[in-house]
Amino acid sequence: MSEHGMVTVASDWPVGETIDRLQAVVIGVGLFVFARIDHAGNAAQIGMELRPTELLIFGNPRGGTPLMQDRQTSGIDLPVKALAWQDQDGKVWLTYNSASWIAERHGLGPESEIAVGAIETGLARLVQQAAGPAAIT
């Protein structure tokens, strides 16, 4: 499903395992993991409840730098990120920003088209590998 520039796919795994799998796939293809944020864990530290929710921030300067050379504001959406989250019914989802949405949001020009296409294709492939067969729609 795609809404407001976000792509959301079902995951066959719990939130933590979904992010573990994504992290392994990301590292396996030579990308960098810049941060992993456990939003639910952070909420628990201040006495608040949040269903399992984790964010992975990853990428490679070779992919993102051309977009920032085109429009530096695209750096607010880079590196790319994916959010694994559990809904009220216990279903786990993996959501990420569409690279074409990032391009549109920042008014990237034709010189960014190749990089945007590579990011779009690569993200979809990584997410499918991490989320399992449920991600293939």
**pLDDT tens for residues 12-44?**
999 999 999 999 999 999 999 999 999 999 999
**pLDDT tens for residues 81-100?**
999 999 999 999 999 999 99
CA pseudo-torsion sign 42, 52, 100, 32 = positive
Q: Whole-angstrom Cα distance, residue 72 to residue 78?
A: 10
Query: What pLDDT sits at residue 3?
Result: 77
Q: Mean pLDDT, the chain, as a whole number?
A: 95
Strand, coil or helix: 43: helix
Q: Is residue 137 scored above 60 in pLDDT? A: no
Q: What is the mean pLDDT of residues 45-61?
A: 97
Residue 103: pLDDT band (50, 70, 90) is: very high
pTM for this predicted structure:
0.93
Query: What pLDDT sits at residue 136?
Result: 62
Q: Is residue 54 scored above 80 in pLDDT? A: yes
Q: Is residue 11 scored above 70 in pLDDT? A: yes
Q: Whole-angstrom Cα distance, residue 123 to residue 116?
A: 10
Q: Is residue 124 scored above 80 in pLDDT? A: yes
Q: Is residue 1 scored above 60 in pLDDT? A: no
* Beta bridge mates, 86: 92
Tokens representing residue 136 in the block: 């293939």
Q: Whole-angstrom Cα distance, residue 46 to residue 69?
A: 40
Strand, coil or helix: 9: strand
Alpha carbons within 13 angstroms on the beta-carbon side of residue 25 total 19
More confident residue, 4 or 38: 38
